Every structure is written in C-alpha cells, then in structure tokens.
Amino acid sequence: MKDVIVIGSGFAGIASACYLAQAGKKVIVLEKNESVGGRASFFKAEGFSFDMGPSWYWMPDVFEKFFGDFGKKPSDYYELVRLDPGYKIFYGKNDEFEVPASSKELGQMFEQLEPGAAAQFDRFLEDAKYKYERGINDLVNKPSLSALEFADPKLLKDLFALDLLSSIEGIVAKYFKHPKIRKILEFPSYFLGATPNKIPALYSLMNFADLQLGTWYPMGGMYEIIKGMKAVAEELGVEFITDTEVNGMDVVEGKITTLQTSKGIFQAKSVVAAADYNFVEQNLLPKSYRQYDEAYWDKQVLAPSSLIFYLGFNKRIENLRHHNLFFDRDFTAFGEDIYENPKWPEEPLFYACVPSKTDDSVAPDGCENVFLLMPVAPDLDGNEAIYDRYLKMMLSRISDYTGVDLKEEDIIYKRAFAHQDFKDRYHAYKGNAYGLANTLMQTAIFKPKMMNKKIKNLVYAGQLTVPGPGVPPSLISGKLAAELSIKHCKI
Ligand SMILES: Cc1cc2nc3c(=O)[nH]c(=O)nc-3n(C[C@H](O)[C@H](O)[C@H](O)COP(=O)(O)OP(=O)(O)OC[C@H]3O[C@@H](n4cnc5c(N)ncnc54)[C@H](O)[C@@H]3O)c2cc1C
C-alpha cells in the first residue's frame, strides 16, 4: 500500500507529490488523461507544438523557490528568456502600445500620456512591491483553514497598507487618469477571474509581478516546466500512472479506504485530491461526506471559461509580438456578457499568443504558431458554427491592425477548444478554465477548504481551493496540501 495517492497531475498534483516524496512518503499520481500536466497540457500537430493552457510565465521567484526546495534550479530543466517588450496592446487601428521590460522606460512612456505619471508610477510600483512581498512570502502560504491564521498583530496593522477593502480599479484610479494607463494596470485582474472593480487592491501585487519581475518564456514552451517538475518527482520516487480515471472513493468510518479507478482498485493511507474540487466532491465522494452541496457551488463566482484556437499558419504575421492583447472594444459591455448576463459576447476582447516569435522550435520554417483565447462566460453551449464566427471576427481584427491579410486558407492546422472540452478533458465545473474568481469573498478563508472535516485522510489541492487560480498559486497549493497531509492525515 502507498502512503499517498494524488488524484490529478496538474501543477498542484505534481508539486504535492514532490513535497510528499521528499518527506519520505511513497506516492502515486493517478491521471485520467494520456499525459501529465492538467490544464498545462501540450500537443504536436503538423509540425507545430502547442501549449494548451498557460502561456504567461510570471513570478519567476516562485518557480525558483519550488525547484530550490529540491536542490535544483529552473535552468536545470529549461532555458528561460525574458520577453522585451513583455506584450503588445492593440487599442484599435494604428493605436497600439508595447509594454517594455524596463519599468523605467514604461514610466517615461506613461509620462508622455499623462504629465506626472512617471513619478506616480514609481510610487504605484513601490506599493505593489510591498504587497507582493507580503502576499507571496507570507499570506499565500497560509492554508486558510481558520481566520486565526491571520490574527497576527503585523497583519492587523497592515490591513490598511494591503488595501483589502478597496478594488484594483480604485487604486489604479487613485494614481492615474489616462484610460490607456489604467487599462494596462488593470489588465492582471483578468488573470484573477473578475473585473477590476471586483478584485481587491491587494492584487496590485500582480502589477509588480508583471512590470517589475517581468514576463518570461521557457524555450520549448510552458510544458517544459511540467517536464522539469515530473523529473524532480520521479527522482524522488514518485510513480505516475496516466490514462487512469478515478471513478469513486469508498469511505469507512471517516477514512477513505479504496479508490475505484478505470484500471481497478488502488489503496493508500491518504489522498490528495488535486483534480477539480467540485468534481471530486460531487462525483467521487458519497453524498454524506461532501462538504459543499450543488447550491453552494452554484453561488460561487467562477472565473471565465475560454474559447481557444490552436492555429498553425503557413506564413509569418508581422507586427504581432509573442503576447498580444486586443483591448479594442468596450470592457464594460464585454464584462457584462461574462458576469452579469452570461452569453456569447457581441464584441469580445481577446488575446493572441505567438510563441514562434521567440521560439523557432514550435513552428515549421516560415510558419507561425498562434494561440487565440477569448474569455467567455462559463457553462455556455457552443458549436462549430459559433466558434467559426468568432475565429473570423478575431482574424479580421488581427488583419486590420497588423496589415497582414489572414484568411482561413492560410491555416494549416486548426483546433478549437471550449466549455465541453474543458469538461471532457479536465472534469471542469461548468467548463471553467481558471477556477474561482479571486473576489474578496472568495479569497483565503472564504475559499473551499483544503481539508475535508468529515474525512480524516483527504486533502484538496489546486486552483479551486487556496490560494487560487494561476500556475504559481497552484504550485503553492500543492505544497500546502502536502504539509497538511503530513500533519493531519497521520501518514
Ligand atoms: C487556457 C488557460 C490559460 C491559462 N493561462 C495561464 C497563464 O498564462 N499563466 C498562469 O499562471 N496561469 C494560467 N492559467 C491557469 C493555470 O493553468 C491553472 O490555474 C493551473 O494549471 C491549474 O492547475 P491545477 O493543478 O490546479 O489543475 P489542473 O491543471 O486542471 O489539474 C487537474 C488534473 O486532474 C485530472 N483529473 C480530473 N479528474 C480526474 C479523475 N477523476 N481521475 C484522475 N485525474 C483526474 C485532470 O485531467 C487534470 O490533469 C490558464 C489556464 C487555462 C485553462
């Protein structure tokens, strides 16, 4: 019998397995898909290599810390390059803005838009730095099982400085007036799954991550991180079994005894559930052992889902950068289509990632690898006709702004991925892409809890629990789950 079974091999599952194995535990990871990585999966087609999920490598310090905990460095597994410019924003035709790697240079560009903005930007970044240091070195590492974890005098003193009760929109508006500057500084909110007026100002720590720590890219693609983490885990003795779906858990006297899977029965002293929290509770556990019912889940504010296209073009697309944001439509109306009155949007904003701008290995010579992502409300029904309508819309806007005429005939490879694919591939609740929105009432102690009060040997990890969505938080979630397992599950 193993000490721990980890369900799911995303960032949270692999991280958890590494820390458990380092503590001397015998660990097995069960993954339903054909390969490990979860939402950070990867595939090859027609000479192109596509990362399926995350594409922004932010907070390099979190990855250094992870590999460092095992006596390694990211560079032992992949080569990181810093992108400069970090990204490009299209506000409309002949109206674009490239965000340089140097924050000093960016401050000067802001100054041209708004007199006095360079000095304001220095102050804004100073404040964001403080929040980053407190947030990433301290707050994020709390499992948030109880409010008492936060009852330290320093934190109480800090409540004002951390701006928990105001919003990103509010804090940005306090420093800047120009709408373009505001849009740039509000952009990281969208990673957190809600509009900037709903995300606590504490998360301006993301601006520090974005504009000071920088946007990086692991050559070969984001999947190189997964490969590196898997190598660390295997060196520590972790066993990975793919194509193995957990279908149910037997609980006897408040302890999981057996996991029913597509490959038969597995047993371990304890379980880390790093698959989507909702799926684990509602589908794998007997009803009496669930902590939350469907009504609870239905009330949670989910981060958007996504309509994604993985595209291989037979030509290069000049004037695009590695990361491109299309902020050329009204944010408020788009936000309403996602959050207030969920429906397929009239005028979507979208994002284009073109890793072949940095990395020749991801596309054949003379070709371009393009990942288009359009945020959409969760739980919508889609079909090919709807997806194609949006593809045409996005290509037409890209053509218009870059001056490169893009037609469907230029596409050598095309794959769409949306709600039902998220459900089928990851068991994603309502087809969510990034878990729960990080609103104040869904932060820390208000998130679904990492421990199951009714089951002694079950801990949850991943983007639907603490600390939240994103690659760095999922890594941290895996570490917290390993610590809780060791402390509370008596393994
Ligand atoms: C399109 C997209 C773009 C993103 N972009 C970024 C970005 O640029 N930067 C960033 O930091 N973050 C980004 N994110 C968020 C980030 O990728 C996720 O927060 C993170 O990868 C989640 O990791 P996880 O381990 O919690 O979950 P997952 O990666 O979903 O892992 C859960 C695993 O559990 C498996 N599983 C589910 N049910 C079972 C079962 N019954 N039995 C066995 N296995 C099961 C699933 O197959 C999956 O492999 C993005 C996410 C998406 C979807």
Give yes or no for residue 131 having a pLDDT over 90. Answer: yes
- Rounded to the nearest angstrom, the distance between the alpha carbon of 438 and the centre of ligand 1 is 16
* 139-to-157, 212, 467 alpha-carbon distances in Å: 14, 20, 9
For the chain, what is the largest distance between any 2 Cα atoms, rounded to a whole number of angstroms?
68
Q: Report which of 346, 273, 354, 371 is spatially closest to residue 317, judged by C-alpha positions.
A: 354
Chain-wide mean pLDDT for the chain?
95
Find out whether 271 and 259 touch, Cβ atoms under 8 Å.
yes
Q: Which amino acid is at 86?
A: G
Burial (0-12, 13-18, 19+ Cβ within 10 Å), 256: buried
Q: Which helix (H) or strand (E) holds 415?
A: strand 411-417
Question: What pLDDT is stored for residue 149 in this prediction?
Answer: 83
Please tell me the distance between residue 168's alpha carbon and the centre of ligand 1 in angstroms: 25
Residue of the CA atom closest to atom 46 of ligand 1? 426
Contacts of 156 (CB under 8 A, 6+ apart): none
* CA nearest ligand 1 atom 31, residue: 10
Distance 297 CA to ligand 1 centre (A): 18
Residue 99 has a pLDDT of 97
21 CA → ligand 1 middle, Å: 22
Structure tokens at 279: 């799926």
Q: Which two tokens stand for residue 432?
A: 């969510």
Tell me the CA–centroid distance for residue 332 and ligand 1, in Å. 28
Containing 201, the helix (H) or strand (E) segment is: none
Residue 159 has pLDDT above 80, yes or no: no
Residue of 136, 438, 471 to test ligand 1 pocket, by largest number of atoms within 8 Å of CB: 471
pLDDT in tens, 80-123: 999 999 999 999 999 999 999 999 999 999 999 999 999 999 99
| Whole-number Å distance between alpha carbons of 170 and 12 | 32
Task: List the Cα angle 454/460/464 in 5-degree steps.
Answer: 120
The set of protein residues with a Cβ atom below 6 angstroms from ligand 1 is 7-13, 30-33, 38-40, 53-56, 245-246, 274-276, 279, 306, 308, 373, 426-427, 433-434, 462-463, 469-471, 474
| Domains, in order of start, for the chain | 2-76+220-300+437-488 (3.50.50.60), 107-213 (1.10.405.10), 302-426 (3.30.519)
Distance from residue 26's CA to the centre of ligand 1 (Å): 24
Name which residue sits closest to atom 53 of ligand 1, judged by CA.
433
Q: How are beta strands 458-460 and 411-417 bridged, if at all? A: unpaired
Atom of ligand 1 nearest to the CA of 477: 26
So what's the pLDDT on residue 432? Answer: 94
> Which tens digits make up the pLDDT trace of 434-458?
999 988 889 889 999 999 999 999 9
Amino acid at 230: K
Question: Best substitution site from 7, 39, 277 to test ligand 1's pocket, by max atoms within 8 Å of Cβ?
Answer: 39
More confident residue, 80 or 202: 80
pLDDT in tens, 282-295: 999 999 999 999 99
Reference 187, options 10, 327, 90; nearest CA is: 327
